[in-house]
Chains A and B, each alone.
Chain A
Amino acid sequence: MTKQETLVTFQGVRKQYDDFVAVKTLDLEIGRGEFVAIMGPSGCGKTTTLRMLAGLESPTEGTITIGGKVMNDVPAHERDTPLVWQSLALFPFLNVQENVEFGLKMRGVPDFERQPRALMWLERMGLKGFEKRRIDQLSGGQRQRVALARSLVTEPEMLLLDEPLSALDAHLVIRMQGVLTKLQKELGITFVYVTHSQSEAFAMADRVVIMGQGEVAQIGAPRDIFRAPRNRFVAEFVGRNNIFTGLGREGRDIVVAADRISVTRDKPEGPAIKAEFLSEEFVGTAILCYFETPEGEELKAQVTEEQLEALGAEPGMAFWLGWAPEAAHEMEG
Chain B
Amino acid sequence: MRLSDVLSRIYVLALFLFVFLPILTSVVFSFNSDRFPTVPLGHFTTHWYETAFSRPEVWTAFGNSLIVAVCAAALSTVLGFVTAYTDYRYGFRFKSAYLALALLPPTIPLVIMGLAMLAWLGRLGLSGTLPGIVIAHTVMGAPFAMAICRMRLQQMDPSLEAAAWNLGASPWRAMSAVVIPFTVPALISAFCLTAAVSFDEFIVAWFVSGLNKTVPVMILEILQGNVDPQINAIGTVVFLTSMTLVILAQLLILRRSAA
Contacts and interface: CB of A to CB of B under 8 A. Distances in A.
Given A106-B173, A136-B259, A89 B162 contact: yes
Nearest to B185: A93
B163 A77 contact: no
Interface centre among B164, B165, B166, B171, by most chain A C-beta atoms within 10 angstroms, is B166
A215 B164 CA distance: 30
B167 A106 contact: yes
B181 interface: yes
Q: Which DSSP category, helix, strand, loop or mixed, fits chain A's interface?
A: loop
Contacts, number: 66
B164 A106 contact: yes
A87 B159 contact: yes
B165 A77 contact: yes
Contact of A92 (B165, B166, B259): B259
Nearest to A56: B162
A73 B80 CA distance: 33
Interface residues of A, number: 27
A82 B165 CA distance: 9
Contacts of B178: 91
A89 B157 contact: yes
A75 B170 CA distance: 9
A82 B166 contact: yes
Interface in A87-129: 87, 89, 91-94, 102-103, 105-107
B190 to A, nearest CB: 17
Contacts of A86: 159
Contacts of A136: 259
B149 to A, nearest CB: 16
Nearest to A153: B167
A133 to B, nearest CB: 14
A271 B47 CA distance: 109
Nearest to A94: B181
A102 B157 contact: no
B73 to A, nearest CB: 23
B157 A93 contact: no
Given A76-B162, A87-B157, A136-B259, A92 B182 contact: yes
Interface of A: 54-56, 75-78, 81-83, 85-87, 89, 91-94, 102-103, 105-107, 136, 150-151, 154
Interface of B: 157, 159-160, 162-171, 173-174, 177-178, 181-182, 184, 259
The 10 lowest CB-CB distance pairs between A and B, nearest first, are A89-B163, A103-B167, A106-B168, A89-B159, A76-B165, A106-B169, A77-B165, A85-B159, A93-B181, A107-B168
Given A54-B166, A102-B167, 7 more contacts: A55-B165, A75-B170, A81-B166, A89-B159, A92-B182, A136-B259, A154-B167
